[in-house]
Amino acid sequence: MASIDDVARAAGVSTATVSRALRNLPNVQPATRVRVLSVAAELGYVPSPHAATLASGRTRTVGVLTPGIARWFFGEVVDGAEHALRGLGFDVLLYALGSPRTDGPRPPVDPNVLRRRVDGTLVVGLPLEAAEVSSLVGLGVPLAFVGSGPSGQVTHRIDDVAAGALATRHLLGLGHRAVGHVTGARDPLSVWSPAAGRREGWRRALAEAGVDGPPTWVVDDAEFDLAGGRAAAHRLLAARPELTAVFAASDELAMGVVLAARDRGLRVPDDLSVVGVDGHPHGELVGLTTVSQDAFSQGHDAAVGLLGMVVGERAPESVTYPTRLVVRESTSAPRADRGPRR
């Protein structure tokens, strides 16, 4: 494999000049640059990224930490980040922590796997403990969060409290009063996790409407997928048959709620209204009403912002993305005999 020495020799210049010419640095005479470029092409020279990293300290690589990519939101975000990063000449090192196939709590994030390996770190939808955040900060490279993030860190996300309130107010506006909630909490449910925010939005909207939703209207230990939502909804609906509506913390959970309702012989929306969050394209399969967000853009923009920090720009502001209530067929007024008492 041709090395920079081969190119230098063939072009009759020093390796320093080859290095400058190839990286488009100033201080190379146009004619020299052209010669170097053509010799390099001729020899099929491809610089060794590892040698460049060792010499410069820069890796041109970003670490993407995520619980997994099989969930819709994570997949979209990682996809968006990957395209932004690739487009700007950066590699992406994927760390899918917390296997969807293993049970038990996720082991703490070990920052050493990233040490000396990345120029920046993007944390996607992984609610981290404070200690984990500081260990990541301790890496000394820029850090950005998508989907959730502690205050003081650059974060790209929607307003989860507002999203939860928007979904719940929609149900209240239709006349529902007994509105349950299905959510997940396998990761530490820190104050800045999406689940915590959406739950808080639900609680506030109920309180505003004068509804005193008891804690038993919530099931909060669901896996964040279809099967998890289904199982959780079964427990919730069995325990609280008075519920006429359920707000689920994600569309995947919400679709599971719809399946559980069907399992139990309940019609959606006649017997049970269901709302989710995400705008998952499959929501349409069950006419799911949802609060939608643009996950791809969050990943894309976060990656671009992170690279800005890598090249020395000051940290950008955190960004809050818009959400939109998409009303489909999974929500309606409660049946007359199940509506609010007067």
Tell me which residues touch DNA (CB under 7 A). 1, 3-5, 12-17, 19-20, 22-23, 26-32, 45-48, 51-52, 54-56, 58
Q: What is the DSSP letter of 26?
A: S
Beta carbon of residue 114, minimum distance to DNA (angstroms, whole number): 15
Q: Which is nearer to DNA, 4 or 163 (CB)?
A: 4
Q: CB under 8 A: which stretch of 22-30, 46-54, 198-206, 311-319 binds a copy of itself?
A: 46-54
The yes or no reply on residue 239 touching a copy of itself (CB under 8 A) is: no
CB-based contacts of 79, cutoff 8 Å, min separation 6 = 296, 299
* 3-state SS assignment for residue 324: strand
Q: Which does 20 bind (CB under 5 to 8 A by kind): a copy of itself, DNA, none?
A: DNA
* Residue window 172-211: x/- pattern of binding to a copy of itself, with contact defined by CB under 8 A: ----------------------------------------
CB-based contacts of 178, cutoff 8 Å, min separation 6 = 211, 213, 217, 240, 242, 243, 244, 245
**Contacting a copy of itself (CB under 8 A), which of 1, 31, 152, 214?**
1
CA distance 158 to 249: 13
**Contacting a copy of itself (CB under 8 A), which of 34, 51, 311, 327?**
51
Q: Which does 270 bind (CB under 5 to 8 A by kind): DNA, a copy of itself, none?
A: none
Q: Which is nearer to a copy of itself, 238 or 285 (CB)?
A: 285
Beta carbon of residue 266, minimum distance to a copy of itself (angstroms, whole number): 16
* 3-state SS assignment for residue 6: helix
CA distance 138 to 135: 5
- Closest among 155, 149, 154, 142 to 307, alpha carbons compared: 142
* 3-state SS assignment for residue 249: coil
**Contacting a copy of itself (CB under 8 A), which of 15, 32, 53, 332?**
53
**Contacting a copy of itself (CB under 8 A), which of 25, 207, 285, 327?**
285
**Contacting a copy of itself (CB under 8 A), which of 33, 83, 264, 328?**
83
Beta carbon of residue 10, minimum distance to DNA (angstroms, whole number): 12
Q: Give the tokens for residue 155.
A: 């974060």
Q: Which is nearer to a copy of itself, 29 or 134 (CB)?
A: 134
CA distance 217 to 236: 7
Output the 3-class SS for 285-320: HHCCEEEECCHHHHHHHHHHHHHHHHCCCCCCCCEE
The yes or no reply on residue 54 touching a copy of itself (CB under 8 A) is: yes
Per residue in 30-39, is it b (16+ CB within 10 Å) or e — as a string?
A: eebbebbbeb
* Residue window 251-280: x/- pattern of binding to a copy of itself, with contact defined by CB under 8 A: ----x--xx---------------------
